[in-house]
């Protein structure tokens, strides 16, 4: 008689064959090895016919969000099946065309806190990659102390009237909808915050892109002036926004640390050892010629490997319990440090070639590295700054309390 592990292995083998056959029939060879340009914070590009076909196929199959419930357009796969699917996609250089903040943050949160009507309205569109979401959290006077936010949603009977300003709205100029924290009670700080869904095309919504040091403008200032929001767009109850918002941040930090869609991009690019050989040369043994640099590259890659293994373990533990925990703050901080360390090492290896901004004398990869290095400075700020994560770690993991 077959044991449970043997039956599970046999079932996964069957699913692997199914996934391999489906991918062979549906993944366009022209997209092999390319990144998902449609699920980033950069300006949306006009998708090719093959990209449209691939997105449609994955959306209809539900495999863009493989473990989400099939009833809402997800794949309904087990964790083991989702892992097999990822392995088979990696084997042929396929990428997931379904992504963005709807997948990374809002969808998992709505599945937990939304009512049935909200799930049926919003989750399938996210699963098919049809709607782009943005996040309305930070304000000019409420960054690290987010609970000080002042964007106000006034109860007008059958709708809310929203007035206020958000900043650092990632992808706001391209988004269709926004999940936002707003104040519905001015007499209470945390208990006066609610979680509201806002149509970015509604009258009174204005976005102004912010140009970053990297030269891109992925973030915006967002202004709400007498914006009407239907009452049914309230997630949870009035005053529950702080609880829901914190839960969403755990999902965000899990992804930003590498536990979600960001994992494949965190350490993307040419291996540091090969980069060093290209720019610094190799010795007679085929090693990076600079011994000190060689050792620092080895230490970084050891830290990176340990980090990725820890992420995998934490992800499995989260799925077997109640989802992401406060431990995501640790992962966020470590992931940010490793990302910045890698960028610094890359620029050091490339020397002057890694500091080009424009003009002749630099390859496209070298110009991209400069912008990647500059962009990486924000990793320890967005999604909750390193200092904020340290507070979370101290209070919620180490059990340290404030003392007056």
Q: Encoding tokens for residue 246?
A: 């914190």
> Minimal CA–CA distance to 250: which of 59, 388, 120, 65?
388
Q: What are the residue numbers of the active site?
A: 252
Residue by residue, DSSP assigns 70-114 as GGGTS----HHHHHHHHHHHHHTT------SHIIIIIHHHHHHH-
Q: Give the three-class secondary structure for 399.
A: coil
User: Which of 42, 39, 43 is CA-nearest to residue 95?
Assistant: 39
> In whole angstroms, what is the distance from residue 382 CA to residue 298 CA?
28
The residues that bridge with 219 in the sheet, in sequence order, are 210
Spatial CA neighbour of 200 closest among 216, 179, 181: 179
* Cα separation, 254 vs 252, whole angstroms: 5
Grouping H, G, I as helix, E, B as strand and the rest as coil, residue 219 is: strand
The pair of three-digit structure tokens given for residue 223, joined into one six-digit string: 């202004």
Q: Calculate the alpha carbon distances from 350 to 282, 283, 355, 366, 380 in Å.
A: 14, 18, 8, 8, 23
**64 in Cβ contact with 129 (< 8 Å):** yes
Instruction: Using alpha carbons, select from 339, 370, 343, 342 the residue that is nearest to residue 354.
Output: 370
Q: Is 130 exposed, middle or buried (0-12, 13-18, 19+ CB in 10 A)?
A: middle
Question: What's the CA gap between 251 and 190, in Å, rounded?
Answer: 20
């Amino acid at each position: 008689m077959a044991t449970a592990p043997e039956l599970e292995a046999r079932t996964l083998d069957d699913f692997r064959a199914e996934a391999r056959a489906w991918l062979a029939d549906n993944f366009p060879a022209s997209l092999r090895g390319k990144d998902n340009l449609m699920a980033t914070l950069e300006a949306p590009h006009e998708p090719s016919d093959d990209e449209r076909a691939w997105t449609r196929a994955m959306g209809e199959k539900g495999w863009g969000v493989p473990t989400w419930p099939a009833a809402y357009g997800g794949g309904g796969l087990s964790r083991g099946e989702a892992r097999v699917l990822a392995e088979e996609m990696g084997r042929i250089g396929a990428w997931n065309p379904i992504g963005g903040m709807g997948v990374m943050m809002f969808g998992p949160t709505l599945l937990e806190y939304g009512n049935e009507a909200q799930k049926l309205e919003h989750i399938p569109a996210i699963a098919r990659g049809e709607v782009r979401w943005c996040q309305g959290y930070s304000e000019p006077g409420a960054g690290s102390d987010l609970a000080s936010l002042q964007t106000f949603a006034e109860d007008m009977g059958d709708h809310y009237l929203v007035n206020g300003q958000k900043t650092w709205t990632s992808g706001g100029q391209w988004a269709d909808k926004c999940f936002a924290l707003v104040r519905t009670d001015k007499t209470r700080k945390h208990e006066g915050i609610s979680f509201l869904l806002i149509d970015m095309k509604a009258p009174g919504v204005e976005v102004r892109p912010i140009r970053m040091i990297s030269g891109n403008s992925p973030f915006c200032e967002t202004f709400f002036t007498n914006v009407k929001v239907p009452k049914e767009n309230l997630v949870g109850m009035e005053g529950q926004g702080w609880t829901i918002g914190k839960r969403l941040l755990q999902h965000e930090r899990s992804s930003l640390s590498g536990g979600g869609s960001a994992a494949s991009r965190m350490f993307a690019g040419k291996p540091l050892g090969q980069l060093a050989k290209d720019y610094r040369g190799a010795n007679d043994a085929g090693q990076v010629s600079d011994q000190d640099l060689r050792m620092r590259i080895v230490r970084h890659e050891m830290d990176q490997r340990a980090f990725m293994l820890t992420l995998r373990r934490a992800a499995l533990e989260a799925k077997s319990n109640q989802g992401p925990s406060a431990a995501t703050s640790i992962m966020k901080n470590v992931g940010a440090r490793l990302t910045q360390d890698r960028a610094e090492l890359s620029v050091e290896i490339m020397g002057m070639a890694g500091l080009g901004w424009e003009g002749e004398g630099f390859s496209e990869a070298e110009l991209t590295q400069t912008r990647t290095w500059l962009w990486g400075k924000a990793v320890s700020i967005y999604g909750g700054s390193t200092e904020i994560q340290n507070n979370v770690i101290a209070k919620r993991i180490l059990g340290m309390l404030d003392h007056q």
